[in-house]
Structure 1
Amino acid sequence: MSFTNPLRFSLALLCVGALTVSASEAPEPADAAEPEFKGDRDGHEMRDVIPKRDIPSAPILNVEQALERFQVQPGFVIEPVAAEPSVFNPVALAFDARGRMWVAEMTTYMPDVLGTGEMEPNGNIAVLEDTNGDGEVDKRTVFLSDIVLPRTVSIVEGGIFYADQSALYFAEVREEDGRLSPGLHEVVDAEYAKGGSVEHKPNAMLYGMDHWYYNARSDRKYQVLPHESVVPSGAEEIYRNPYWKLVRARTEYRGQWGLSMDDYGRLYHNGNSSPIHGEYLLPGALRRNPGYWPDAAAHPIGGHQVHPARMNPGVNRGYMEGVLVPDGPDRGKLVNFTAASGSLVYRGSNFPPEYYGMALTPEPAANLVTARRILEREGLLAGEPLFPGQELLTSTDERFRPVNLYNAPDGTLYLVDMYHGILQHREFLTSYLAAQIADRELDKNNNTMGRIYRLRWRQTPAAEVSDLTRLSPDQWVPLLGHPNAWHRDTARRLLVHHGPTPDLVTALKKQLRGSKRPFAIINILWTLRGLNAIDLATVKRFIQHEHDWVAITAAAVGEALPPAERKAYRKQLMKMAKSGYPRALQAAVSVAAIEGGFDISRFVLKHYETQPYGRAAVVSGLGTEAGAFIASLEKGDVDEQTEYLLNNLGKRQRDESNRAQLSAEGQTLYDLGKQLFNGKAACASCHGSHGNGQDGVAPTLWETRWVRDPQRMVRVMLHGLKGPIMVGPFEWSTPNVMPGFAARPDISDKELAAVATYIRNSWGNAEDTNGGLEGSTVTEIREATEGRSEPYTAKDFQPMKN
């Protein structure tokens, strides 16, 4: 497939015409109509909670001035790595094997409150280098330009992946005499970021421990394989080039912006109003059974509260009670997260040991980065603040917008600062925030600046950046035990993409025999798995290791053992199941790789059925043998909840859509509603494209009583809903408030009826058989509730029965 840029013209046409009038075409100010802001809601008073005279100014600062505005915890120091004109509006980056930064520059994002020219293809992928080793960038190369709002960049053999407003691309990297240029340049997934608003599109492309590339705001994962390799079960080949082929598969839907992982390969992400969340199990652990696809539970690592250094009235709902501190010494400061961005588990080598593995989340609306200690309990991840009542880093510069964090090649922490006055996208902007922006001239010079900083421990110099391309594959092997995770992650990718040779496999096994650190053993095991070089002796040696996650990793990679060794592997899984929780969970999951492991499944149910993930791990691990397992059960073997799970396997998939039972008009509405749900209405951004919801963001829409009564549903759609509410047997409470559509002039009553019809007849809901919701119904309810200004609560409706 040859490269084209299909977005250049089509996306330009998507700009709202009334919002893209040039200065020369605009009428005189006296005749100009007030712009309409889509975030406004009828009845909301756009009041200034903090008088304008009390709000600090927000001047544009150069780097030296900006550094004076930072407050960091004792022992840390913040240092500039790059700034304009070396970098502009950075939103994401990736380090290549030479330690160079490949930066996605979103140089047209919200230059003003109207988003004028935002969809122009003027974004870049730029390469930043420190050629003299002083820690600051002194060379900038624009590798690609003419990109519409680039949001993702990741390194792969032969080149890079990057994503724009719609698709995922591969660009071959050619280098001659120190000059970089793109070679082969092709679309690899035209559906990667299709639909939805700018704020609600896939991103990240994190290279995971298991060799899949994972994404935030997405349920897709990607893997690079040799051309001759067998496509993994459940995946499909979507692209190939001279270097490799690319396969795509389903995974759990995760987060909003940014993705990270810990030393064990577990993934961490966040929602808009919720900071970092972590998954207790390895990705995909609960998706081995084709009839069972629960979402991976993501546990909050600490609370939602923030502690800014300056007032934060410039947030979209700053006029609402409870958003800002009303009085006292913290008057005007943001109370809770509202724009959590790219979180990170710090795995570098520069900070003291007590900070290794800490969880970090930037909050660009409050100009800070928060830090929590990750706490691991039985079946649960949790967290506590590292600096109670304070943050790791804050700034009194309102334009400081930390949007992503990275473990760097020199062992420090890199912060990507978009340095932008406007954070909120026009699709959600309120007139209150627009006025705040105008008051402090935050709409000036928004696409000509940007910074990248590093956070360093003052007493520890940043390490020299290694050029791993100068090493041979056998020299990459020892790096799998390097104290800085960037070396481990990069070496693992280089080795797997290089491919196996007898000498390389021998070197890896020799390194494994001499390794003592758990993270080194785990990295080598996954590297051997990626090279299809796992053997029974290796699995047997480590599956009973004293460290839980070494044992769990050995079981996970052991799933790739050849059929002749699976009988012996089964015995190892049973030993592991008897080794206690959480090893028993992985044993139950890994049963999916063998035949007839029912004795392991029964053992785990007997001893851990009521423990967190006990049932789920067993049901997932039954894989395609669930029917045979169910047939083998006798009365009393499992409890009622497990019996319910087993008896309902696959039913969600069969009942997913009630479209066929609708009238012709109802089917037309259903199809329009599906398009709107995933597009302009942006419902999928919170509830997920499959209606599964997201922990800490929005509840599931599967078989929910909340959609049964059309009167109740339309009221909620028009005016919003806030928790706590009961969804099935669970209480759902989140700081997020579901926004209403009553103030959205861009969505008609017919379109709202279409969205309602789609929801009411998807995901096990079947409410409009032989019909469909009428647009007139929405109009009637809109008129009847015209004076409402607050979101609904559960108390506003009669008690509902499941």
Structure 2
Amino acid sequence: MKNRFSKYLLLLAISGLIYGCLKPLADNNTIYTKPPMDTDPAAPSLSPMESMGKIYLPEGYSLELVASEPMIEEPIDIAWDADGKMYVAEFLTYMQDINGTNENEPWSRVSVLEDTNGDGKMDKKTVFIDSLLLPRLLLPLDDRVIIGETYSNNFWSYRDTDGDRVADEKVLIFENDKIFKGNLEHQSANLTWNIDNWLYLSKDPFRYKWKEGKLIIDTLLDAPTGQYGLTQDETGKMYYSRAGGEVVALGFQQHPIYGNLEMDGRWADDFEQPWPIIGTPDVQGGKIRLRPDNTLNKFTAVSGQEVFLGDRLPLYGDLFVPEPVGRLIRRAKISNVDGKIVLSNPYDKAEFMASTDPNFRPVRVATGPDGCMYVVDMYRGIIQEGNWTREGSFLRPEIERRNLDKNIGKGRIYRVVYKGVKPAKVEKMLSLSSKDLLPYLGHPNGWYRMTAQKLLVLRQDKTIVSDLLKTLRGNSKGNAKRDEGIKRLHALWTLEGLGQLSKSDIISKTKDSDSRVSCAAIRLCEQFLKDGDQNVFATIKSLKNHPNKDVLIQVVLTSKTYANRDEAKLLIQEIVDLNPENEVIAVSSDVVTSDVENLKVKHVLKHPNTKNSIIRGYETFKVLCASCHGKEGKGIKDLAPPLVGSPRIMGDDLELPVKILLNGLSGEVDGKDYGIMLSLKGYDDQWISDVITYVREEIGDGGKTVNSRIVSDVRKKYGDREQYWTLKELGQSK
């Protein structure tokens, strides 16, 4: 494929900073010549340079090695502080053998990497904090870094106070001593500072805001159904992924504060099919997940995604999703079709990045402060957690046959560069005054925009309010060299974070010339609408004929927060009638009634213990179980069997579903092999009871309750069993 670099332009900022800017390139369907397919490749460990030689990219792109073993080991995540120092989370205990021995020991760490000579390669490493249990939250603030560990719900702030790059201050900023007992792959991760100044996680129904050195918590309408990986576009719309449900991307139709909305047609045809360039027989789903050429036929391990917002590659605004089982990274073009977000693969049966090295395990993509793309390669043999590699699994013999368990303790970080475009110089921002940070709010690299906004909100420096208001009150659309709208958008949210937005400024910005600013201002009107402010509602109502569909959709979503529900419904219906062909407006217009409230009403006559168990079970089912079995329990083709009518769940043998949940299931179910069902024995007895009770009551036809005493008895009876059950063993084979 011949990509043409259209142009990159110099943009002079107030402080004299020079910024580079790229315009998107047109793509065609030719990406690279695929190598001959090796359907059953050997998996020897290669040096970084040897492995890089086996990674394929479109014409014009190339890789640079930033760091590798022995400097780093088992990297899972990266992030930069405001001075451009790279923090690396290292999972040192993750799957160090086929059984996951010592996986839950606190032997992992977060390290700081630095390029001291400016050659683009890290040459100095300092262990920032060690003795961690698989750190899965990593968010630099100012000179503090938020870190959270696996199984823990506590958030800690770490700081280096003496300049040696080693943390010597540890402060508990959010306390929740409840221990998460489920599998580590099903825990929240990827704490992200959104443009709205709230911090979001990949799956929990909570969000957090920094206030006076602590995090305060707020509850979302729905629990996001992501897994590992979370990113946002330039307006703050968030993109989740769910490996367990084989979902490349989800949650992007609307901001999570409005609940979950998934629509048909959100992916172009064949978007769900990955295109490896090497055989991938080590899949947890078994042969049903392999094409005849032994390549992965569905995404099964998506994680660590990023909407690329850098300015040194012609990829701005595209979504990149690592798939470590497929040894590839998917590029997704994000299209807005009358307000509906649609993802498509710009290449014909090919991927942006793919490797013929079986140990290439991309787990994270990130936008760097130099405007380039960074790729974290865990570089290892086994990528699946131990629950999927136990005796009786499809994976275990594959791992043993190919000696995949022998490659551990390595890891690489790459930089993707584009021909003729050098990575930008990394600016140091921590020591800048608040006034000097303001130009960065309009920087063409989104990393700088978000970092500057975050620093300004953390500082709470009110001396810059007049400058921010001056920026906000402009209305220029800008041009190819200067995006004035994006600068106003960040000025708006920075003022919100400083608590310095007046009602009049918010109302004024609802009619901004840039729809991104208009939508944000409309959303900010909700604080007044909830109190029944009629004047603000009149402003919202005046936008009912707006030509931009994104604005209309936001008007609909915001109107649903108005205290006067009857007036809100009339306005929403009028907008729907004016736009009869727009499916997003139609779907967004539905008034959301809490499923929990519906369950309370439906089961009002049941004993409070049973009713509460059903509700708790529902919360678990929709986040964990529905990703495989479907929201209504009807199953998902080739992924998990239906629960509706299942004799294993709905029968009179109350111990049977407990056995399956505690130890998992392998082999055929009703004549079809769905692969392994995960053991859930890490959860407590009440949790197991709640899930089964919900399924029997809501998906089945009721019957006797499976209470926690039954679960406890089964756990004691089969406590020593490590193997998955088969239906033959359970007396359920046909």
Query: Shorter-chain TM-score: what band?
Result: 0.7 to 0.9
Check if 1:260 corresponds to 2:231. Answer: yes
Check if 1:84 corresponds to 2:98. Answer: no
**Deviation of 1:74 (Å):** 0.4
SS in 1 for 2:128: strand
Q: Is the 8 A contact 1:279 1:297 kept in 2?
A: no
Partner of 1:129 in structure 2? 114
Note closer, same or farther for the CA distance 1:358–1:722 as it changes in structure 2 (3 Å cut).
farther
**Deviation of 1:442 (Å):** 1.5
Partner of 1:539 in structure 2? 506
Note closer, same or farther for the CA distance 1:58–1:267 as it changes in structure 2 (3 Å cut).
same
Check if 1:222 corresponds to 2:184. Answer: no
- Once residues 682 and 426 of structure 2 are traced to their aligned partners in structure 1, the CA distance between those partners, rounded to angstroms, is 52
**Deviation of 1:218 (Å):** 2.1
Q: Is the 8 A contact 1:193 1:201 kept in 2?
A: no
- Once residues 686 and 330 of structure 2 are traced to their aligned partners in structure 1, the CA distance between those partners, rounded to angstroms, is 40
- Once residues 418 and 56 of structure 2 are traced to their aligned partners in structure 1, the CA distance between those partners, rounded to angstroms, is 14
Q: Is the 8 A contact 1:702 1:765 kept in 2?
A: no
Partner of 1:711 in structure 2? 647
Look up the equivalent residue of 1:460 and give its one-letter code.
V
Check if 1:246 corresponds to 2:216. Answer: yes
Q: Is the 8 A contact 2:308 2:316 kept in 1?
A: yes
Partner of 1:467 in structure 2? 428
1:267-286 equivalent positions in 2, closer than 5 A: 267-272=238-243, 273-286=246-259
- Once residues 354 and 706 of structure 2 are traced to their aligned partners in structure 1, the CA distance between those partners, rounded to angstroms, is 55
Q: Is the 8 A contact 1:217 1:255 kept in 2?
A: yes
Check if 1:95 corresponds to 2:76. Answer: no
Partner of 2:305 in structure 1? 343
Check if 1:105 corresponds to 2:76. Answer: no
- Once residues 498 and 508 of structure 2 are traced to their aligned partners in structure 1, the CA distance between those partners, rounded to angstroms, is 19
1:469-484 equivalent positions in 2, closer than 5 A: 469-484=430-445
- Once residues 264 and 422 of structure 1 are traced to their aligned partners in structure 2, the CA distance between those partners, rounded to angstroms, is 37
Q: 2:472 aligns with which of 512, 528, 546?
A: 512
Check if 1:438 corresponds to 2:400. Answer: yes
Q: Is the 8 A contact 2:151 2:181 kept in 1?
A: yes
Q: Is the 8 A contact 1:102 1:125 kept in 2?
A: yes
Note closer, same or farther for the CA distance 1:300–1:427 as it changes in structure 2 (3 Å cut).
farther
- 1:363-387: CA deviation from partner (whole Å, max 9, x where unpaired): 1011111112112123522122122
Q: Is the 8 A contact 1:261 1:344 kept in 2?
A: yes
Check if 1:559 corresponds to 2:495. Answer: no
- Once residues 445 and 124 of structure 1 are traced to their aligned partners in structure 2, the CA distance between those partners, rounded to angstroms, is 20
- Once residues 444 and 162 of structure 2 are traced to their aligned partners in structure 1, the CA distance between those partners, rounded to angstroms, is 33
Partner of 1:449 in structure 2? 410
Partner of 2:195 in structure 1? 209
**Deviation of 1:736 (Å):** 12
Check if 1:699 corresponds to 2:630. Answer: yes
Partner of 1:402 in structure 2? 362
**Deviation of 1:559 (Å):** 3.3
Note closer, same or farther for the CA distance 1:201–1:736 as it changes in structure 2 (3 Å cut).
farther
Check if 1:184 corresponds to 2:155. Answer: no
- Once residues 224 and 598 of structure 1 are traced to their aligned partners in structure 2, the CA distance between those partners, rounded to angstroms, is 36
Look up the equivalent residue of 2:92 and give its one-letter code.
T
Note closer, same or farther for the CA distance 1:283–1:297 as it changes in structure 2 (3 Å cut).
farther
Note closer, same or farther for the CA distance 1:650–1:246 as it changes in structure 2 (3 Å cut).
closer
Note closer, same or farther for the CA distance 1:424–1:606 as it changes in structure 2 (3 Å cut).
same
Partner of 2:34 in structure 1? none
Note closer, same or farther for the CA distance 1:142–1:366 as it changes in structure 2 (3 Å cut).
same
Partner of 1:372 in structure 2? 332
**Deviation of 1:336 (Å):** 2.0
Q: Is the 8 A contact 2:440 2:448 kept in 1?
A: yes
- 1:381-430: CA deviation from partner (whole Å, max 9, x where unpaired): 21221221211111111111111111110001111111111111111225
Partner of 2:517 in structure 1? 550
Partner of 1:358 in structure 2? 318
Check if 1:651 corresponds to 2:621. Answer: no
Q: Is the 8 A contact 1:344 1:361 kept in 2?
A: yes
Q: 1:175 aligns with which of 150, 161, 171?
A: 161
- Once residues 583 and 534 of structure 2 are traced to their aligned partners in structure 1, the CA distance between those partners, rounded to angstroms, is 28
1:566-645 equivalent positions in 2, closer than 5 A: 566-580=533-547, 581-591=549-559, 595-596=563-564, 598-608=566-576, 611-612=582-583, 614=585, 617-618=588-589
TM-score by length of 2: 0.79
Note closer, same or farther for the CA distance 1:551–1:63 as it changes in structure 2 (3 Å cut).
same
Q: 1:57 aligns with which of 33, 38, 42?
A: 42
Look up the equivalent residue of 2:294 and give its one-letter code.
G
Note closer, same or farther for the CA distance 1:109–1:736 as it changes in structure 2 (3 Å cut).
farther
**Deviation of 1:607 (Å):** 3.3
- Once residues 151 and 351 of structure 1 are traced to their aligned partners in structure 2, the CA distance between those partners, rounded to angstroms, is 28
- Once residues 275 and 174 of structure 1 are traced to their aligned partners in structure 2, the CA distance between those partners, rounded to angstroms, is 37
- 1:419-449: CA deviation from partner (whole Å, max 9, x where unpaired): 1111111112254422222233221241x21
Look up the equivalent residue of 1:759 and give its one-letter code.
Y
Q: Is the 8 A contact 1:193 1:202 kept in 2?
A: no
Q: Is the 8 A contact 2:645 2:700 kept in 1?
A: no
Partner of 1:324 in structure 2? 290
When the two structures are aligned, how many residues end up with a matched partner? 651
TM-score by length of 1: 0.72
Note closer, same or farther for the CA distance 1:772–1:54 as it changes in structure 2 (3 Å cut).
closer
- 1:447-476: CA deviation from partner (whole Å, max 9, x where unpaired): x21111111112210001111112111111
**Deviation of 1:755 (Å):** 6.0
Partner of 1:525 in structure 2? 492
Deviates further, 142-151 or 274-283: 274-283
- Once residues 515 and 629 of structure 2 are traced to their aligned partners in structure 1, the CA distance between those partners, rounded to angstroms, is 33
Q: State the percentage of identical aligned residues.
A: 24
Partner of 2:459 in structure 1? 498
Unaligned runs of 5+ in 1: 1-52, 227-242, 287-293, 621-644, 724-734, 790-802
Cα RMSD (Å): 4.1
SS in 2 for 1:199: helix
Check if 1:312 corresponds to 2:280. Answer: yes
Note closer, same or farther for the CA distance 1:674–1:163 as it changes in structure 2 (3 Å cut).
farther
